[in-house]
A = this chain, B = another copy of it.
Amino acid sequence: MLKIKRIKDGRKNVDQVKELLDSRSGDNLAKYRDVAADVLKKVKAEGDQAVLDYTSRFDGVEFDASELEVTEAEIKAALKEVDTDFIEALKNAAVNIEEFHAEQKDKSWQKQKKPGIITGQVCRPLKKAGVYVPGGRAAYPSSVLMTVIPAKVAGVEEIIMLTPPDKEGKVSPVILAAAEIAGADRIFKVGGAQAVAAAAYGTETIPGVDIIVGPGNIYVSMAKELVFGQVKIDMIAGPSEIMIMAEKDSNPAYIAADLMSQAEHDPLASSILVTDAPELIGEVERELEKQIEKMSKKDIIKESLENFGLMIEVENQKAAMEMINLVAPEHLELAVKNPFELLPAVENAGSIFLGEYTPEPIGDYYAGPNHVLPTNSTARFFSPLSVRDFVKYSGFIHYSKEALKEASGDVICLAEGEGLDAHANSVRIRKEN
């Protein structure tokens, strides 16, 4: 019998919800940070040799530097090894992802404000991007598509994938196939903090990059945090969550299935139902009991649901929306009849799934929007991974002699007001010459 926490009168008890979500984040990250800092320092100083040492120690593989990069032959072999249906499905997903992200492209522009005054901004792709792809149990080819394709659409010149080797020194063929479909330029068999270090600083073999993106374990996250500022990073990922808003007529079987699909990721994942129909909660619970037995990851699902699952009763849809905005969930399903009417009221959510026939997996794999999302309430201020992450801007200005003369009074006044007379001098000398 599943025991999932229930909260009545959700609006008054929002603190309880936030506490539950926060309790998933380890308080003491210092020890992981220290390990990551050591790895960064050593790789920065020793380059390839340090990368190879850590790969031996953490992945149990003895490489020499020439074996770090995945070869053309390995990629070809992988493409043959993977099921053709799976390749076809990846390709179809890639088309949707590319189409969606193409809409995010920004353009350079300039305006002539008046004769002699031009201002504008240049938007350019970053030159090199590093995409981290976890290995082992959490090796998801879909994440390869979701991280590589936005970089490709942005126009990044060289996309470098970093992923840990298995005990045999290999990378999963599905990962290699996805990398090939998405358009990664080079792939290196290196994982953990040492992969982040190599990408941030560059080594003899692995090129330094301008941005490092993609999810990873706690050491990867800590290393990304530590190199932020020396390179760009996408976001700090924490445990993930889904919130489903449902009503009296919503289908409890669908809701149960979707709560489980989030829960199967991780015992720390949180699956939350919020509804103004108290009777629905019991129906969903019965469906969970019924469906869970068939799931291969039922132990993880059970642990996740019992520790971090929540059933929240609210008095009406408005109260449900308030809860949602306070929680700022990574994934939000509006499993209701009028989802588009509610959309404008959603202030904080990473990705929004509208209507009963839009389950989260259609977004995880296929529809086009990115699945690398702000977790753990950070949708309040962070955004899904996008083409925007892979570009940079420069502002630019041109003033003619006459235009400068006209503006010079104000500029000199402001510069002198700030006590910066070399600033004033630089305008004055042009006016007087």
Interface, chain A (partner B; CB < 8 A): 83, 85-86, 88-90, 92-93, 96, 99-100, 103-104, 109, 111, 113, 117-119, 121-122, 124, 126-127, 139-142, 174, 210-211, 225, 228-229, 231-232, 235-236, 251, 253-254, 257-258, 260-261, 263-265, 291, 294-297, 301, 339-340, 343, 346-370, 373, 378-384, 386, 388, 392-401, 403-404, 407, 409-411, 413-415, 417-427, 429-430, 433
Residues of B contacting A343 in the complex (Cβ-Cβ under 8 angstroms): 122, 396
Question: Do the beta carbons of B142 and A90 come within 8 Å of each other?
Answer: no
- Other than the known A254-B429, A264-B421, A291-B425, what 18 A-B pairs have Cβ atoms closer than 8 Å? A86-B417, A100-B119, A113-B368, A117-B367, A119-B368, A121-B369, A139-B418, A225-B228, A225-B229, A253-B433, A260-B425, A264-B423, A295-B422, A352-B397, A354-B396, A369-B395, A379-B394, A384-B393
Question: Do the beta carbons of A142 and B236 come within 8 Å of each other?
Answer: no
Shortest distance from the beta carbon of A130 to any chain B beta carbon, whole Å: 11
A397 with B433, Cβ < 8 A, contacts A119-B368, A368-B119 known = no
23 contacting pairs across A/B (C-beta < 8 A): A92-B410, A119-B367, A121-B369, A142-B414, A211-B381, A228-B228, A228-B236, A229-B378, A253-B429, A291-B425, A349-B394, A350-B395, A351-B395, A352-B397, A354-B396, A355-B398, A357-B404, A361-B424, A361-B427, A362-B407, A366-B410, A380-B392, A388-B388
A235 to chain B: closest residue by CB: B229
Residues of B contacting A296 in the complex (Cβ-Cβ under 8 angstroms): 419, 421
Question: Do the beta carbons of B397 and A347 come within 8 Å of each other?
Answer: no
A383 to chain B: closest residue by CB: B393
Question: What is the bound-complex CA distance between A261 and B349, given in angstroms?
Answer: 45
SS class of chain A's interface: helix, strand, loop or mixed? mixed
Question: Do the beta carbons of A369 and B396 come within 8 Å of each other?
Answer: yes
Question: Do the beta carbons of A367 and B399 come within 8 Å of each other?
Answer: yes
Residues of B contacting A369 in the complex (Cβ-Cβ under 8 angstroms): 119, 121, 395-397
Question: Do the beta carbons of B395 and A254 come within 8 Å of each other?
Answer: no
Question: What is the bound-complex CA distance between A352 and B352, given in angstroms?
Answer: 39
